[in-house]
Amino acid sequence: MESVEQPMIAEFPESLQNREMIVKVSHVTRIYELGASRVTALRDISLEIPKGVLVALKGRSGSGKTTLLNMIGGLDTPTQGEVELFGIRLSQLDDEAKTELRRQRLGFVFQSFAILPVFSAIENVELMLRIANIQTDRRKLAMRALEIVGLGSWAHHRPWELSGGQQQRVAIARALATRPELIIADEPTGELDSTTGRQIMALFRFIAVKEGITVLMATHDPLIEEYAHMVVDLMDGQIRSIRFPNL
């Protein structure tokens, strides 16, 4: 495979230069061993992500987006290199500490919504607060998260009474409710039509700007160019460019 010269760290525009960097990826390589064959999913990636921005990870299928999200979310371990979240080196944490860090400081949103059909919208959100071991005010916190995503009046509806876009909003409220510092979203608009997809991207931008929560989303969707503060283009496991289209 042709080797390209990667931008090491983005040259941040002035408005981001004094922000806290909440994610630091340093020279990360991830090689999957499948019997005798080896797949290099990420190759010497370095990247810094500032607080309070919407970051899009773009690239064709197989370019390494999900692998990089898994590294940053502490769900997988680099073959080489280091990931730091909030100044903590993930390599220094055992599995239990990583799980705790995820529960307390990260939120996850997936393409398939993954909300539970037997529970109402608010019960789905409260369940996450219970998992995060939050003992008090769960109903209030869940309602606030549903209000942020514009579903305050749908709190007691069950998923089958909601549209796909509304179900994804419940999933976003669930990720928001614990007040994470970083939300990681893998193709969150992949199952939505383009109008609904746009609304979800605008919502993520709103969450980044108004709530100060960094949102890192992997997407194929070209509409993200209109919403993301920072766009990282991946190709064959390497960063091809880092851009700042909407600051």
- Could you give the dihedral angle defined by the CA atoms of residues 198, 203, 204 and 205, in that order, rounded to the nearest 10 degrees? 90
Contact 199, 145 (CB under 8 A): no
Which of 19, 240 has the CB closer to ligand ATP?
A: 240
Which of 35, 87 has the CB closer to ligand ATP?
A: 35
Beta carbon of residue 30, minimum distance to ligand ATP (angstroms, whole number): 8
Residue 50 structure tokens: 């500032």
First to last CA, the chain: 34
Which of 59, 197 has the CB closer to ligand ATP?
A: 59
Give which of 236, 213, 235, 198 is closest to 55, Cα–Cα: 213
Which of 30, 138 has the CB closer to ligand ATP?
A: 30
Contact 244, 71 (CB under 8 A): no
Which of 142, 234 has the CB closer to ligand ATP?
A: 234
Beta carbon of residue 220, minimum distance to ligand ATP (angstroms, whole number): 6
Beta carbon of residue 152, minimum distance to ligand ATP (angstroms, whole number): 33
Residue 204 burial (10 A CB sphere; 0-12, 13-18, 19+): buried
Beta carbon of residue 222, minimum distance to ligand ATP (angstroms, whole number): 14
Instruction: Name the residues that contact ligand ATP, by CB under 6 A.
Output: 32, 34, 39, 41, 59, 61-67
Which of 4, 39 has the CB closer to ligand ATP?
A: 39
- Cα separation, 221 vs 227, in Å, equals 11
Which of 70, 196 has the CB closer to ligand ATP?
A: 70
Phi-psi map region of 74: left, alpha, beta (phi>0 left; psi -120 to 50 alpha) = left
Beta carbon of residue 70, minimum distance to ligand ATP (angstroms, whole number): 8
Q: What are φ and ψ of residue 24, in 5° steps?
A: -130, 120
Residue 245 structure tokens: 């289209």
Beta carbon of residue 69, minimum distance to ligand ATP (angstroms, whole number): 8
Beta carbon of residue 1, minimum distance to ligand ATP (angstroms, whole number): 11
- Cα separation, 77 vs 24, in Å, equals 14
